[in-house]
Structure 1
Amino acid sequence: MNFTLNNVPERTSKPRQTGFTMAMDKGLSVREVEDFIETCGDFVDIVKLGWATSFVTPTLKEKLAVYKVAGIPTYFGGTLFEAFVIRNQFDDYRKVLDKYDMSFAEVSDGSIELAHDLKCEYVRKLSEQVTVLSEVGSKDAEKIIPPYKWIQLMQAELDAGAWKVIGEARESGNVGLFRSSGEVREGLVEEILTKIPFEKIIWEAPQKAQQVFFIKLLGANVNLGNIAPNEIIPLETIRLGLRGDTFMHFLNQK
């Protein structure tokens, strides 16, 4: 930090298990990635190449190399996994992970119907090859999953070998954990937390109000995802109580 302030929350250090920030790359150029890392690299733990953008990114290898040199792992969005699976190309997907030297993968079923036993089998198989992030929740705003089911799905996917589970919200933050307005389904979140350890969950929270909610609920070192590159430093100030939304929240805490 550039100067000293008292009563600022202590942040975990990289490599982190909690206080994890997952950034969403929706098509940055190599030069933009270099600038992004220069400014935000210390605050980013992993980068998701959103949905299937990796399929059309012309400088994919070069971009991944820049992230790798900076020590920031990357992974392809779960929609790419689903695109391979629905075409019966799971083995091809595994070859793609090897080709691009990926150490993480996301397993999701937000856009396709996938029997949960089969999804867990994909988690098991991929966990032999890479570290698996498993996303729970639907991208369909009309599909409401009851809290007990979220808990069952998350626990089963962790048991199958997922390193962490991701609470679905899309890049817009208006499905899954959130209502169409972006409002947090607070009862759902609180019930999930009665059974699933908070350090095992990455909450997709692209909107500022959503980030503030989780930081006030679970502290500066909550795991948050789907953060836009230009929102990484603003998020860090929210985590540290240095933005109006959390300014008083940490001030009197030891």
Structure 2
Amino acid sequence: MNYTLSQIPDRTAKPRQSGLTMVMDKGLSLREVEDTLSVSADYIDIVKLGWATSFVTPNLQQKLDAYRAGGIPVYFGGTLFEAFVVRNQFEDYRKLLDKYKLEYAEVSDGSLEMDPDQKCEYIRTLAQQVTVLSEVGSKDEAKIIPPYKWIKLMKQELEAGAWKVIGEAREGGTVGLFRSSGEVRQGLVEEILTQVPSENIIWEAPQKEQQVWFVKLLGANVNVGNIAPHEIIPLETIRLGLRGDTFSHFLDK
């Protein structure tokens, strides 16, 4: 930090197991990646190339190399995994991970109907090759999954070998964990937390109000994801009580 302030919450150090910030890259240029890392690398734990953007991204290898040079692991969005699976190309997907020397992969079923046992089998298989993140929740805003099922799926996928489970929200924060207005489904989150430890979950929270809500509920070292590149440093100030929304949250009462 550039100077000293008292009553700042402790932040975990990289490589973190909690307090993770997962950033979504929806098509940054190579120069934008370099600019982002120049100011935010210390606060980025992992980057997701959103949904299947890696399929159409020019200079993909150079982009991956730039993140790697900055010490930031990258993975392809879960929709790409689903696109391979629905075309019966799972083994091609595994070869793709090797081709680009990726150390992480996301297993999801947000766009594709998938039997939970089959999803867990994909997790088990990929966990022998890479570190797996699995995403729970649908991208269809009309599909409401009851809390007991969120809990059951999260537990099964962690047991199958997922490093973290991701709570679905899409890049807009208007499905899954949230209502179409962006409001948190508070009862859902609180019920999940009675059964699944917070450190095992990455909560997709692209909107500032959502980030504030999770920091107030779970503290500075909550795992959040789908953070836009220009929101990385603002999020860190929210975590530290240095933005109006959390200004008094960490001060001695």
Q: Which residue of 2 aligns with 1:230?
A: 230
Report runs of 4+ in structure 1 exceeding 6 Å deviation: none
Count residues with an aligned counterpart. 253
Q: Which residue of 1 aligns with 2:46?
A: 46
Amino-acid identity (%): 75
Distance 1:32 1:246 in 2: 29
Distance 1:8 1:59 in 2: 40
Q: Which residue of 2 aligns with 1:147?
A: 147
Task: Give the residue type in structure 2 aligned to 1:183.
Answer: E
Q: Which residue of 2 aligns with 1:104?
A: 104
Q: CA deviation at 1:251?
A: 1.0
Distance 1:59 1:224 in 2: 28
Q: Which residue of 2 aligns with 1:220?
A: 220
Q: CA deviation at 1:252?
A: 1.2
Q: CA deviation at 1:85?
A: 0.3
Q: Which residue of 2 aligns with 1:183?
A: 183
Q: CA deviation at 1:82?
A: 0.3
**TM-score calculated relative to the size of structure 1:** 0.99
Q: CA deviation at 1:124?
A: 0.3
**Structure 2 portions without partners, runs of 5+:** none
Q: Which residue of 2 aligns with 1:88?
A: 88
Task: Give the residue type in structure 2 aligned to 1:132.
Answer: V
Distance 1:113 1:200 in 2: 24
- SS in structure 1 at match of 2:5: coil
**Structure 1 portions without partners, runs of 5+:** none
* CA root-mean-square deviation: 0.5
Find out whether 1:119 has 2:143 as its counterpart: no
**TM-score calculated relative to the size of structure 2:** 0.99
Distance 2:60 2:82 in 1: 20
Task: Give the residue type in structure 2 aligned to 1:12.
Answer: T
Task: Give the residue type in structure 2 aligned to 1:248.
Answer: S
Task: Give the residue type in structure 1 aligned to 2:27.
Answer: G
Distance 2:59 2:180 in 1: 35
